[in-house]
Amino acid sequence: MIVGRILRPHGIRGEMRMEILTGYPERLSSHRVFYLGPQAKPYPVEGVRFHREAAIIKLAGCDDRNAAEALRGLLVHIPLEDAIPLEEGEYYYFQVVGVEVFTDQGEHLGQVVDVMETKANDVYVVRGPRGEILIPAVEDIVRELDLTARRMVIVPISGLLP
């Protein structure tokens, strides 16, 4: 499960500034290992502190600015079993990516490729035959989200579809 993204080195001793991508940043300091990049390479955590809406992390083996720079842009993961258990009807963003989206009339709109957070509600980014569609994650529009079947059914409002 993704909890952050390495933004840049912080200082000269291997610390890195990390964008926080979890709703539970206070739990970051409880993890002993972070997994970085697409291969999920394990890095023991030496320290986590918070500074100006970001986390400053120190990982074992990353002892200078050059080592920290080499990790710039990588996503920071934790094992799913270490994540906060969700309430019924809640889900993690990564679980929605890849879900096929259909209208209530059966038209295939494409696949969710991203989930954007906004102040009002989340927005599903769907790519398919009609191009890119932004679907607000609200009950009036999203009528069904079945993560097991990897299927979402929406009722499009006027102006939603191109």
Match 């398919």 to its residue by tokens.
128
pLDDT of residue 145: 94
pLDDT of residue 82: 83
Q: Which of 69, 78, 21, 29 is nearest to 49 (CA)?
A: 29
The Cβ of residue 143 has, within 10 Å, a number of other Cβ atoms equal to 12
Structural domain for 133, as ranges: 93-154
pLDDT of residue 6: 97
pLDDT of residue 18: 97
* Domain total in the chain: 2
Whether residue 60 sits in one domain with residue 29: yes
Is residue 159 situated within a structural domain?
A: no
Residue 146 three-state SS: strand
Dig out the tokens for 127 from the structure: 């790519």
pLDDT of residue 50: 95
Whether residue 141 sits in one domain with residue 73: no
CATH number at residue 8: 2.40.30.60
pLDDT of residue 5: 95
Tens-level pLDDT at each residue, the chain (162 residues): 889 999 999 999 999 999 998 888 998 999 999 999 989 999 999 999 999 899 999 999 999 999 999 999 999 999 888 887 778 877 888 789 999 999 999 999 999 999 998 889 999 999 999 999 999 999 999 999 999 999 999 999 998 998
CA distance 85 to 83: 6
Is residue 87 situated within a structural domain?
A: no
Domain end residue (candidates: 59, 82, 105) = 82
pLDDT of residue 101: 97
CATH number at residue 119: 2.30.30.240
Whether residue 107 sits in one domain with residue 52: no
